[in-house]
Copies of this chain bind each other. A is one copy, B any other.
Amino acid sequence: MNERVCRWGILGGAGIARKNWQAIRHSGNGRLVAVASRSQEKAAAFIDECQGQVAHDPVPEAIGGYAALLARPDIDAVYIPLPTGLRKEWVLAAAAAGKHVLCEKPCGTDAGEVREITEACARAGVQFMDGVMFMHNDRLAALRQELDAGTIGTIRRIATQFSFLAPKEFFTDNIRLDPGLEPLGSLGDLGWYNARIILWALGYEMPVSVTARMIREHHGVPVSLSAELAFGGGVTASLYCSFENEHQQWVNLSGTGGHIQMSDFVLPFHGPELAFEIEQAHFNVEGCHFHMERHSRRVATREYSDSHATAQETKLFRKFGELVLGGTPDPHWPEISLKTQLVLDACLRSAREGCREVVL
């Protein structure tokens, strides 16, 4: 290869890494050099599973132990999908080894950890970014254009829900409710996206106060949680994340001139386009006659959700590769990770203190 590429390593073989393996492969500026697991055998098995269908590609190396991967000089960036409870240790180690870090969410068990992580990356001069894929699809850019154009006026209210119905085994076998590995439970796994889309929509303004309710917990870990965020100027947002509801992932952005509904903001529906709906209603009263008129406009971007070439995860890895190859870390990305975590922290504190209002 003549062109410079971002040389990737993956720490751990989480399910999500299977998807992102393909994303690296299709990023256009990345190459997967090695995969580390706790043992070389596990890493090799993971590689076999993912590599099977693309035998023409160079096979990444299977490495036993994360430290051994970080020690390699032929890796520029690492993707870290390890459990949340282990992230800080390995992000710090990666930064110390001079590796750029793409980190799954939640990036830490609390904002203190995320601050430590992002400061370490800044000191080491490496890029830090969290793995929120939707940030990188073309739809979000189209949505930003609509918001900037004033299509729905000034945003006054955001409502968002991200949920899925976990099977019974989830409550015993899945690490997503393990107090040590995933202490934020559904709030970290799902609520991270809710908080992020809210912050994104409001230009990363932080809420001034938060109230939240622990609807259900499992050994102290949120299973279902709802929160209300108050921003300046009477803007508010409601989020709900849950492991005990059928799959939903919607956001409603409501302004003085209309509202926008996006029904698949996290994981786009299968199909050739990603879309959102702009809705306006006009209530006309003429004497004794009342008319409620609806005006809908669908905005769609052409990016086949299930094509690796156009998938949002591919764009995420491509973007990260550009930053790595560009040579100058962009502080925006660690900053929004920290802000997202600060919002989750406030939610969790309020929820644990019986809905008490937490002022930020």
Footprint of B on A, CB under 8 Å?
15, 18-19, 21-22, 49-50, 52-53, 152-153, 156-157, 159, 161, 163-165, 211, 213, 215-216, 224, 226, 228, 230, 234, 236, 238, 240, 242, 244-250, 252, 254-259, 263-264, 267-270, 279-283, 285, 287-294, 305-306, 354-355, 357
Contacts and interface: CB of A to CB of B under 8 A. Distances in A.
A292 B268 contact: yes
**Residue of A21, A152, A289 with most partner-chain B CB within 10 A:** A289
A210 to B, nearest CB: 10
A216 B245 contact: no
A353 to B, nearest CB: 10
B281 A248 contact: yes
8 contacts: A19-B288, A53-B287, A156-B244, A156-B245, A234-B244, A245-B256, A248-B254, A267-B283
A159 B245 contact: no
B246 A258 contact: yes
Contact of A269 (B270, B289, B292): B292
A330 to B, nearest CB: 28
B289 A306 contact: yes
A227 to B, nearest CB: 9
A157 B240 contact: yes
A256 B244 contact: yes
A44 to B, nearest CB: 16
A213 B215 contact: no
Contacts of A294: 263-264, 269-270
